[in-house]
Amino acid sequence: MPRQSVYLEDIPLPEAWRRISSALEAAGLWQPLGAETLPLDQALGRVTAAPVWALQSAPHYHAAAMDGYAVRAGDTAAAADNHPLQLAVDPDGPARYVDTGDALPAWADAVVPVENVQPIGAAARPEMIELRAALAPWTHVRAMGEDMVATELVLPANHLLRPVDLGAIAGCGHNQVVVWRRPRAAIIPTGTELVPAGAAVKPGDVIEYNSLVLAAQIEQWGGLATRCASVPDDLAQIAAAVAEAARDHDLVLLNAGSSAGSEDFSAQVVERLGTLLVHGVAVRPGHPVIAGLLAGQRPVPILGIPGYPVSAALTGEIFVQPLLARWQGQPQADPPAISAQMTRKVLSPLGDDEYLRVTVGQVGDRVVATPLSRGAGVITSLVRADGLVIIPRHQEGLNAGETVTVRLYRPAEQIARTIVAIGSHDLTLDLLAQFLAERAPDDPRGALRLASANVGSQGGLVALRRREAHLAGSHLLDAETGVYNLSYIERYLPDTPVVVVALVGREQGLIVPPGNPQQLRTLADLSRPDVIFVNRQRGAGTRVLLDFEIGKIGLGAQEIRGYGREEYTHLAVAAAVASGVATCGLGIAAAARALNLGFMPLFKERYELVIPREHYDSPLLRPLLAALRDPRFQAQVAALPGYDITHMGQVVAELG
């Protein structure tokens, strides 16, 4: 049912926070929500709500620091190597056996270790001991209060408790600790189209997983999350669910319906049940976010979270995390940051802060950031992201080569252990990434990650020229020589010494619906009026192959319906065929089989890795090159249809 939009604001983030914080401050909610007392064994990761003062000293008595004999240091003054001194062993001195940790007798002020004395009499129960060195007072004694003195400050308030902190609290006499209580958040998914994860889906159904992500975020940030049942798009039902959730939670997250469309009821619900503070923030993704305060004896903040998964997850980071931190006496998260150079120009709308997901790699001595998909629906852009670049709202974008600050999602150490592959996509690269990840525990430095960006073969060579990648997958046929890749490498990388390593031989052919209902046999069939083709993007090796082969048979691009629809991977081509958008595409057998489609083999081609010499020789790539020669990996690839592993791992050429 069409309905004209309600007004969606465009409030800069700091202003949105000003509105939220002053409303919460007025409601007494801009501070921790209360404290609770916990036994120490339940307090890991919690935050102290009060300072911890030592109840008693540690040690609470003068303790022997060695197994040996308690003595008076003054009694030993005359002992020397050439002047052995004998002391009688007796509970009242001058020498008494003590184990490490035993209380020092009141008359003693030092311990001589058992290995420094000569027992006289039965070794097990000597009557005397002989010393050959004098002791200073307090030698081998842990004095009372050495660790903590009663009444001193052990931990301040607002301290996140680590394992050793729990030990110190116990060590000075406590068996419990006062911590801020965990904030309780309810997540209400709304939408008639929602189905649970794992359910059978039909077109129009949306798998409800935002509440899963938000609940996990809340848990990670110290809160307690309740995932409520999904509510259909109905104002009254949503309002009832919100009112119910507000009863026993500190925060309500309503997802989605926060925009201004015909089924976006969140703003109305908030206005009905309380005060709408913010509707629309100048951030992308995440723009249609709502903040409000539900009225009642106990006011409860509510956030309307946008529906697209990237928007939802980023709204969690931007709005929920700071609130939960505040409620637990903690500062906002301060992610590690790194400087990197952008590999691409990015245009960004003026007026909005854009949260750009990027991969980050260290290539030679440069750290480079490559933008990922900017679609708010592409959750894998967050999964694959190494970090975020925030493009401020007064800036129109970023230039290629521009230095940016990346807020990292992974430790910087892991970035240095990432192999960046940019170029043509092949399923073998997924298998290779997996093979390397499985072997991660063998390397104490951590997982070797293979991060692939699929931009086609020529795009990969360009990336190598720009020094943005460690290697590029390529299968570019030289139409004149019939040789793969080499002439292209000479053209794109004239000054860069490179090593070309064989990955696989593979079959290219027509990906068609199961059973090949249109009975397609050759490329000439693409001109048939009932055939709808789906193409690969310019620069892709498969596209080069197509253009070369249709040229050979004199078939024009304009004669092929769908030639203009470009996809970026073999699987995307197969998906287009599977969905019925196209009736065929050119691609590899593995992609057809992955989606249970038909395949008509037409050509054989060589898929190779182009690796600049400096990276080929670097320790970073060694495990990858070893994997290519590993029979276990080769067997995995050989199990895929249409792959030839005969030359896998062999050096095809060394250029430059």
Give, as ranges, the residues between 540 and 599 that touch its own copies (CB under 8 A). Answer: 564-565, 569, 571-572, 574-576, 578-581, 594-595
- Read out DSSP for 439-466? TGGGSTT-PPEEEEEE--HHHHHHHHHT
Footprint of its own copies on 122-161 (CB under 8 A): 123-126, 137-138, 142-159
Phi-psi region of 59 (alpha: psi -120 to 50; beta: other; left: phi over 0): beta
State which residue, 455 or 493, has the beta carbon closest to its own copies: 455
* Contacts with 488 (C-beta within 8 Å, 6 or more apart), sequence order: 457, 458, 461, 474, 476, 478
Footprint of its own copies on 251-270 (CB under 8 A): 259, 261-263
Residue window 420-459: x/- pattern of binding to its own copies, with contact defined by CB under 8 A: ----------xx-xx-xxx-xx-xxxxx------------
Candidates 208-216, 392-400, 509-517, 610-618: pick the segment binding its own copies (CB under 8 A).
208-216
* Contacts with 463 (C-beta within 8 Å, 6 or more apart), sequence order: 343, 422, 423, 453, 455, 469, 472
State which residue, 176 or 618, has the beta carbon closest to its own copies: 176
Least Å distance between CB 654 and its own copies? 31
Least Å distance between CB 595 and its own copies? 6
State which residue, 164 or 229, has the beta carbon closest to its own copies: 164
Least Å distance between CB 191 and its own copies? 8
E strands in 61-113: 63-64, 68-71, 85-88, 96-98, 110-113
Q: Using the rule CB under 8 A, is 206 a contact of its own copies?
A: yes
State which residue, 404 or 451, has the beta carbon closest to its own copies: 451
Footprint of its own copies on 500-529 (CB under 8 A): none
Q: Tell me how many degrees the CA angle 314-393-260 measures, rounded to the nearest 5.
A: 60
State which residue, 51 or 517, has the beta carbon closest to its own copies: 51
Side chain identity, residue 256: A
Least Å distance between CB 62 and its own copies? 7
CA–CA gap between residue 489 and residue 336 (Å, rounded): 38
Q: Tell me how many degrees the CA angle 649-594-453 measures, rounded to the nearest 5.
A: 55
* Contacts with 579 (C-beta within 8 Å, 6 or more apart), sequence order: none
State which residue, 198 or 554, has the beta carbon closest to its own copies: 198
Least Å distance between CB 478 and its own copies? 30
Figure out which of the listed residues 41, 90, 396, 654 binds its own copies, where binding follows CB under 8 A.
41
Closest alpha carbon to 87 in 76, 101, 98: 76
The answer to whether residues 29 and 133 touch, using CB atoms and an 8 Å cutoff, is no
Q: Using the rule CB under 8 A, is 99 a contact of its own copies?
A: yes
Side chain identity, residue 54: A
Closest alpha carbon to 183 in 150, 146, 226: 226
Least Å distance between CB 94 and its own copies? 16
Candidates 36-44, 399-407, 515-523, 553-561: pick the segment binding its own copies (CB under 8 A).
36-44
Give the orientation angle of helix 457-465 with respect to helix 541-552, to 10 degrees. 130
State which residue, 444 or 482, has the beta carbon closest to its own copies: 444
φ/ψ of 655, rounded to 5, equals -115, 150
Candidates 97-105, 461-469, 481-489, 619-627: pick the segment binding its own copies (CB under 8 A).
97-105
Q: Using the rule CB under 8 A, is 295 a contact of its own copies?
A: no
Least Å distance between CB 492 and its own copies? 28
Q: How many residues does the chain have?
A: 656
Least Å distance between CB 430 and its own copies? 4
Figure out which of the listed residues 84, 119, 397, 601 binds its own copies, where binding follows CB under 8 A.
119
State which residue, 326 or 467, has the beta carbon closest to its own copies: 326
Q: Using the rule CB under 8 A, is 231 a contact of its own copies?
A: no
Candidates 214-222, 265-273, 390-398, 514-522: pick the segment binding its own copies (CB under 8 A).
214-222
Q: Using the rule CB under 8 A, is 220 a contact of its own copies?
A: yes
Footprint of its own copies on 308-327 (CB under 8 A): 309, 313, 316, 322, 325-326
Least Å distance between CB 594 and its own copies? 4
Q: Using the rule CB under 8 A, is 34 a contact of its own copies?
A: no
Pair of tokens at residue 606: 């060589």
State which residue, 414 or 527, has the beta carbon closest to its own copies: 414
Q: Using the rule CB under 8 A, is 619 a contact of its own copies?
A: no
Residue window 2-31: x/- pattern of binding to its own copies, with contact defined by CB under 8 A: xxxx-------------------------x
Figure out which of the listed residues 27, 33, 40, 120 binds its own copies, where binding follows CB under 8 A.
40
Cβ-based neighbour number of residue 327 at 10 Å: 26
Footprint of its own copies on 474-503 (CB under 8 A): none
Footprint of its own copies on 185-204 (CB under 8 A): 191, 193, 196-199, 201, 203-204
The DSSP element (H or E) to which 347 belongs, if any, is strand 346-347
The DSSP element (H or E) to which 573 belongs, if any, is helix 570-579
CA–CA gap between residue 164 and residue 150 (Å, rounded): 18
Pair of tokens at residue 144: 């009372």
Give the orientation angle of helix 427-438 with respect to helix 631-638, to 10 degrees. 140
The residue with tokens 């002047």 is 83
State which residue, 122 or 482, has the beta carbon closest to its own copies: 122
Footprint of its own copies on 355-384 (CB under 8 A): 373, 375, 377-380, 382-383
Q: Using the rule CB under 8 A, is 174 a contact of its own copies?
A: yes
State which residue, 144 or 493, has the beta carbon closest to its own copies: 144
Q: Using the rule CB under 8 A, is 644 a contact of its own copies?
A: no
State which residue, 96 or 470, has the beta carbon closest to its own copies: 96
| Exposure class string for 520-548: b at 16+ Cβ within 10 A, else e | beebebbbeeebbbbbbbebbbbbbbbbe
* Contacts with 220 (C-beta within 8 Å, 6 or more apart), sequence order: none
Q: Using the rule CB under 8 A, is 164 a contact of its own copies?
A: yes
Burial class (CB in 10 A: 0-12, 13-18, 19+), 565: middle
Side chain identity, residue 490: E
